[in-house]
Structure 1
Amino acid sequence: MSPAARPETVAPDDIRPDPVLAAERAHLHRAAECLTRMRDATEAVTDAGVDAWASERLGAARAERLLALAADPGVPPFFGRTDAAGPAPETFHIGRRHVRDDAGDPVVIDWRAPMSRPFYQATAADPQGVARRRRFGFAGGELTGYEDELLEAGDDGPGEFLRAEIERPRSGPMRDIVATIQPDQDDIVRAPLAESICVQGAPGTGKTAVGLHRAAYLLYTHGGQLSRTGVLVVGPNRAFLRYIEQVLPTLGEVDVAQSTVADLTGRVPVRAVDAPGAAVLKGDGRMAEVLRRALWGEIRKPADDVLVPLTGRRYRVPVERLKRYVDDLRRRARADDDQQSLHYAAGRERLALMLAEDARRQKEAAGGSPTDAETRRAARSPEVRAFCDLVWPAQDAAGVLAALYSDPALLARAARALLDDAEQALLRWEKAPRSIRSAPWTEADAVLVDEVAGLLERTPGYGHVVVDEAQDLSPMQCRAVARRLAAGSLTVLGDLAQATSPWSAADWGQTLAGLGRPGTVVRPLTRGYRVPAEVLDYANRLLPLIAPGLPAATAVRGEPGSLRVRPVTELAGPLADVVEELSAVPGSIGVVCADDAVADVVAMMSDAGLPAVPLADDGEPPARLAVVPATLAKGLEFDAVVVVDPAAIVAAEPRGLHRLYVVLTRAVSTLVVLHRGDLPAPLAGAPAARPASR
């Protein structure tokens, strides 16, 4: 690091102030003033009153722009700077959004702009025209110090500011990482829009942040296109979405949809829970063909001629031509089944129009000239509608699935050679419900109803979709996401070692094929920036069992004392002692346990006077001291994690070792493992570390 580097200290009044620090503070204040004037100029935009539509669009655009420019007292206008090499070097301050002065000249360059890339990519070996890279330290929005890397002099090592930012205590929602993006992460963030990417990211490598920053980068670079088609972020649960919800707005991107698969497919009210076997079957990719057969199998062969009324006369369409029309439409739908170029509802409307066109050709052959409007009326005539109702009946997505579950004969026909008798029995309802809405729908059923809806009509798609924790998606959930993708691209995020669902595969091929992008390149992230080496090495002991062949992650930092493995005979006292000690240090604490132990753990801490709040999947962010069910821990981070009774976590589900790997890698600074019984064999014998002061 350059001798000019200055740690985060403010020069006292009785010491001559650093002229560099004074100049940077002046630029900071100027940037803040310019940003305020940009907001004022946006608020001053007036409506010319051309028409109602123009007024509405102007108001929406102004509101969106104001949100993008919204002030955040804790977020300074810039975080870094590059000085170009040469006799008259240009300097660029890098920030979360572009800031310009009244003349339109840049005061701060958006981190996504091409000229900002050297800030992330330049090295001493490849300076990319950068002589100096400067990072800034802030406290309460005030600039308190700076740190220089003189690339031309061979200085590009990570400094204290970068380390401090990465290790900063984490409480509340997830933050952006624009000040600390590393070259391997930046390569993924700036990949072209047309390129789909799968990120195999080990714990602490920042894969979630990389995916969100990629969305922000694409919106900046392809704003016109994506403003029409939209960007969707899909997360594993609502607690996770609440945790990440502020990242994109902090970066100035406010118009991004965020959803779980359950919310995307919520076409029916979920009232029941599947037995494990039924849930696995309903997520199986074979169900897509079962549903296709159930829907398209209801189409019948025409049995008689049809008289089509057109301009006062009736024209006979013979049954042989009717059969050909139906067969042609069915073949077209079947030939392009994956892309669904012809959906069921569109086929029904097309059939009605084909009958009307047949009558039109007959009238034209007799010397008539019916208009398009008359032909459309013929397609809507009672005679044509009655024929379509008989041959190509209108369908409702939930109704199709309800009929399949209620009618053993229909299920047997649709499942022939796909599902055996025992599997069909798992799907059948013992008793038909009184109504569709009162049916015992489960989350897996909702995904199947969404599949049928996608067969009926085209599902609106997005220009880019980011899917996090994708390793846990079932084949049918993958298809639900793929329907929202349309012709757009994907960013798939996940870690095969953290795969806890019964559909989890040993590689990404099945998931990527289900998402409709089988040729997607898998890019690994193996450098852990958040999890200490001691913690990561401990969790990595499970890899040979849960993910053979997957490269182990390596941490960029070690933190002696960050790991403590403590055998206990009872939990209450030791748990209270550990949590009380950890609470004395700023930062978030997650006490993770098996799901069915949450109430007991909360009671233990309540009895000890510790204000622990159980985390629920209701969208609320974790409290500073949160009791976390193991099944909700994925994707979250805490400064300190206490794992309570790991054996119970392993025993709670078939892929319990994978779940334990997830739980062990949630800590940013300290991991404490309290175990009453035997640890899994790979973890046994780990030396207990000294208590850490953090």
Structure 2
Amino acid sequence: MQVEAAKQGSSQHGAQAVNWGHLIIDEGQDFPRSMYTCLHLTMSVANASGAAPKLAVTVLADENQRLMPSKNSTIEEIRQGLGLHAGDRNVFSLKKNYRNSRQVADFAGSFYAGLPTGMPSPPTRAGDLPVVSMVARDTHGKFLNACVEKIAMYAKAYRTKEIAVLAMHDKVRKSLFNRLKEKLQGEKIEVQSYSSSDEELKAEDLTFDKPGHVTVLNAASAKGLEFDAVFIVDPGMLMSSGSADLHVKMTLYVLCSRARSFLNVMLLDDDNSQKLLQWVPNARYEKEDL
């Protein structure tokens, strides 16, 4: 059916009607296999019909960093969907980790889900051990206040750093954003955020790669980004949401990998957090009580 539709479109409107030129798809693992099959069929028919220049597709993907537990493609599914055979000269594997310090990469690797492509080669750049902050408070509001207190102190002490604060849900993101804005008022530190549910917080208004900025984001908005320092607030919420362990691990792998040099995981002292820490060898982090 897809083949006939592609042929019909090409014959009725000409090959140029579907000529997208060279299409580049980033985070390709977060698209369904059917999309790649459709692209391949359309590209094959248009090119056979004389499209000039010929249609082309480049896909950048890491199957270890999927956004959704069900709506995704593996590297193998992308390859097959695009009609590429194993060992094709147009398939490239990038194995080197240039982003993280060795200590951050080791910590993030604790959540590796065991997918076929494996993990990148470990980086050589050394850094500090990630910090796990255990926060014992009787309400979630007090927990967030304790987290904000430490994040604000760090932001004031390291003004040349680009900092991210990552929340598991939008309600928590909003609360952290408001608390940090109030806490850092008058400090000449820009606190910024983005949410698809808030028309005033647009992605295009965010400033990256500049010091003196604290960026507060949902976990789902953090993929593809990197920061000098990353604070992950209450990832134990992922355990309580009923998500399967595989999805929780993949989410944590993505979030921890956002940090270039400094990583601080801030946990509410409860059973969910204790279960999460069972995945991480003690030697891979420093533990503190807030």
TM-score (norm 1): 0.32
**Corresponding residue for residue 204 of structure 2:** 620
In 1, are the aligned partners of 2:10 and 2:17 still within 8 Å (CA)? Answer: no
Structure 2 residue matching 1:471: 3-state secondary structure? helix
**Corresponding residue for residue 532 of structure 1:** 101
Change beyond 3 A, Cα 1:562–1:686: closer
Change beyond 3 A, Cα 1:482–1:638: farther
**Corresponding residue for residue 689 of structure 1:** 286
Task: Find the aligned partners of 2:283 and 2:206 in 1 and give their Cα distance.
Answer: 30
* 1:590 maps to amino acid: A
The match for 2:80 among 513, 523, 527 is 513
The match for 2:121 among 549, 554, 559 is 554
Q: Shift of residue 559 of structure 1?
A: 3.0
**Corresponding residue for residue 464 of structure 1:** 22
Give identity over the alignment, percent: 21
The match for 1:571 among 134, 144, 148 is 144
Give 4+ residue runs of structure 1 displaced > 6 Å after superposition. Answer: none
Task: Find the aligned partners of 1:549 and 1:477 in 2 and give their Cα distance.
Answer: 22
- Runs (5+) with no aligned partner, structure 2: 48-54, 137-142, 197-201, 208-212
Q: Which has the higher contact order (CA 8 A, sep 6+)?
A: 2
In 2, are the aligned partners of 1:509 and 1:518 still within 8 Å (CA)? Answer: no
Change beyond 3 A, Cα 1:576–1:684: farther
In 2, are the aligned partners of 1:565 and 1:686 still within 8 Å (CA)? Answer: no
Point out the structure with max Rg over C-alpha: 1
Task: Find the aligned partners of 1:533 and 1:500 in 2 and give their Cα distance.
Answer: 24
Task: Find the aligned partners of 1:555 and 1:583 in 2 and give their Cα distance.
Answer: 31
In 1, are the aligned partners of 2:101 and 2:126 still within 8 Å (CA)? Answer: yes
Change beyond 3 A, Cα 1:459–1:480: farther
Listed as ranges, the matches of 1:176-325 within 5 Å are none
2:160 paired with 1:592: no
The match for 2:250 among 644, 651, 658 is 658
Structure 1 residue matching 2:127: 3-state secondary structure? coil
**Corresponding residue for residue 397 of structure 1:** none
In 2, are the aligned partners of 1:532 and 1:668 still within 8 Å (CA)? Answer: yes
The match for 1:639 among 218, 228, 242 is 228
Task: Find the aligned partners of 2:192 and 2:38 in 1 and give their Cα distance.
Answer: 34
Structure 2 residue matching 1:626: 3-state secondary structure? strand
Q: Deviations over 1:236-291 (max 9, x none)?
A: xxxxxxxxxxxxxxxxxxxxxxxxxxxxxxxxxxxxxxxxxxxxxxxxxxxxx5xx
**Corresponding residue for residue 210 of structure 2:** none
Task: Find the aligned partners of 1:661 and 1:551 in 2 and give their Cα distance.
Answer: 13
Change beyond 3 A, Cα 1:550–1:480: closer
Task: Find the aligned partners of 2:152 and 2:93 in 1 and give their Cα distance.
Answer: 35
The match for 2:184 among 594, 609, 631 is 609
In 1, are the aligned partners of 2:104 and 2:257 still within 8 Å (CA)? Answer: yes
Structure 2 residue matching 1:537: 3-state secondary structure? helix
Structure 2 residue matching 1:529: 3-state secondary structure? coil
Q: Shift of residue 571 of structure 1?
A: 3.1
Change beyond 3 A, Cα 1:619–1:548: closer
Task: Find the aligned partners of 2:284 and 2:79 in 1 and give their Cα distance.
Answer: 40
Q: Deviations over 1:158-184 (max 9, x none)?
A: xxxxxxxxxxxxxxxxxxxxxxxxxxx
Q: Deviations over 1:1-39 (max 9, x none)?
A: xxxxxxxxxxxxxxxxxxxxxxxxxxxxxxxxxxxxxxx
Number of positions where the alignment pairs a residue of Structure 1 with one of Structure 2: 245
Q: Shift of residue 341 of structure 1?
A: 2.1
**Corresponding residue for residue 7 of structure 2:** 341
Q: Shift of residue 639 of structure 1?
A: 1.2
* 1:571 maps to amino acid: L
Please tell me the root mean square deviation across aligned C-alpha atoms, in Å.
Answer: 3.2
